[in-house]
Amino acid sequence: MDTLLTIVGIIAGIIAVVVLLALIAPKGYTVVRSIVINKPRQLVYNYVKFLGNQQYYNKWVMMDPNKRTSATGTDGTVGYNSTWDSDVKQVGKGNQTIEGLVDGERIDIRIVFERPMPGVADIYIATQSVTEDSTAVKWSMQSKMPFPMNAMLLVINMYKLLGKDLDESLSNLKRELEK
């Protein structure tokens, strides 16, 4: 009986610590990265507004060239939705939808992950002229984590983890557009 009470006490203590950590942990995160591409703003925007072009620069999209994909709507327009399903665990299954467009300036995308971990992320890619022939591209990813899973944000550095992938994707975009 004492052993059972000890086990219950340990489990209750662990739960209390996780709940306490979740109460003080951030509820979500925003990661933003940018790069300058030596091409005019409208050309860069016209490229990134098409989700199909992500196969040439987006690290996550490029991870499994054999994933199963489908799409509805017209790429480059609000409402366009593309889905993926992969046997590669890191790629998983989900979909992304173009939620908003500001011509020449910004594309808003909502990504819904089904696996390996369910979640939703709001993305935007913004373009701004630096000069007539160069464009600053800003890529932002924002997401929330449900309570008490948000406690993981105390130990996982999403800014570093996702930031590295965004930097790689932006470098791929720069290379693709400047070639």
Determine, yes or no, domain membership for 20.
no
Structural domain contains residue 170: yes
pLDDT at 128 over 70: yes
More confident residue, 159 or 80: 80
Domain count, the chain: 1
pLDDT at residue 9, rounded to an integer = 81
- Does residue 17 sit within a domain? no
Q: CATH number of the domain that 117 lies in?
A: 3.30.530.20
pLDDT for 32? 96
Sheet hosting strand 81-85, strand order edge to edge: 28-37, 134-144, 119-131, 106-115, 93-102, 81-85, 68-72
Residue 15 has pLDDT above 80, yes or no: no
- Omega into 146 within 30° of 0, i.e. cis? no
70 band by pLDDT with thresholds 50, 70 and 90: very high
pTM of the model: 0.83
Which pLDDT tens digit goes with each residue over 143-168? 888 777 777 767 777 778 889 999 99
Choose between 25 and 51: higher pLDDT: 51
Mean pLDDT of the chain: 91
How much of the chain exceeds pLDDT 70, in percent?
Answer: 96
Q: Does residue 22 surpass a pLDDT of 70?
A: no
Residue 11 lies in a domain: no
* pLDDT above 70 for 21: no
Domain span at residue 68?
28-178
In a domain, 1, yes or no: no
On the question of pLDDT at 174 being above 70, the answer is yes
Tell me, yes or no, whether 151 lies in a domain: yes
pLDDT of residue 2: 78
